[in-house]
Amino acid sequence: MPDAHDVLFRTLADPTRRALFERLCREGEQTVGALTAQSGVSQPAVSKHLGVLRQAGLVRDRHEGRQTHYSAQLGALAPLVDWTSRMAGFWQNRFDDLEDLLKRMDQ
Amino acid sequence: MNTATETRAVIVEREMPHPPEKLWRALTQPYLIEEWLMKNDFKPVVGHSFNLRGEWGGVLDCEVLAVEPNKTLAYTWNFANDDAAFDLKSVVTFTLTPTPKGTHLRMEQSGFRPEQKQAFGGAKHGWQKFFENLESVVGGLS
């Protein structure tokens, strides 16, 4: 089984896929047709990207009649949020120590 | 929203009520670096290879990439691992900008590869300990 980070990084590394995901995050649920209209790529290509996003857990599909609606699943980003938070937390803490040091250097 | 960019770089910024020259000393003098970051054999010379040694026993391999006194400092921040997928290869860049009240310090750590399994080299290789006592700090970041 690939690592969760691995899958998320790889999935979002593609600019077209990332744009689709970002659009779903911004604008909420969309049909494949609506997404295709603004994506600049063909509908089969959009469908393929959505399939990859779905496998990564980043989007969910909902069938209604002949239309498939897609929506973003922000929870899937949790491993990344946690990861960046940790690194940011590390540096915030180091900056705290740096500030303490700078105060001591005054003396 | 720019999710993918955020996952590849970490940026921490803070304004500090001290002149850039003083911050520069803290960023470039080994005994001062040790006070806030880690034990090291740093020299402010481009191409100089050095190590940062964490209290947990981990050793980071670093090389100075850019030195512009009182303005910019950049070095690699690599953590070797036998499993290539767990290797951490990144670049840390400090940028100092004078402000009316002191200095704006910006740290950007970037260069994480998409194929990396975990940018921190994995919990089993020491990073976990490194971050354990930071959980409370992270929790306060909102």
- Quick one: pLDDT band at residue B7, thresholds 50, 70, 90? very low
pLDDT at residue A91, as a whole number: 87
| pLDDT at position B139 over 60 | no
pLDDT digits (tens, 9 = 90+) for B35-59: 999 999 999 999 999 999 987 667 8
* Residue that wins the pLDDT comparison between A91 and B4: A91
pLDDT digits (tens, 9 = 90+) for A11-67: 888 889 988 988 888 788 999 999 999 888 999 999 999 999 999 988 999 999 889
Closest chain B C-alpha to A24 CA, distance in angstroms: 11
- Mutant choice from A77, A81, A96, A99 vs B, greatest count of B C-beta within 10 A: A99
d(C-alpha B47, C-alpha B74), whole Å: 11
- pTM (2 d.p.): 0.56
Give, for B72, the enclosing helix (H) or strand (E): strand B72-79
- The 8-class DSSP code of residue A2 comes to -
Q: Which is nearest to B101 in space by CA: B22, B26, B19? A: B19
d(C-alpha B69, C-alpha B10), whole Å: 23
CB-based contact, A1 to chain B, within 8 Å: no
List of chain A residues whose C-beta atoms are within 8 Å of the C-beta of residue B134: 86, 89-90, 93
Phi, psi of B15 (to 5 degrees): -90, 130
Q: Which residue in B has a C-alpha nearest to residue A8's C-alpha?
A: B114
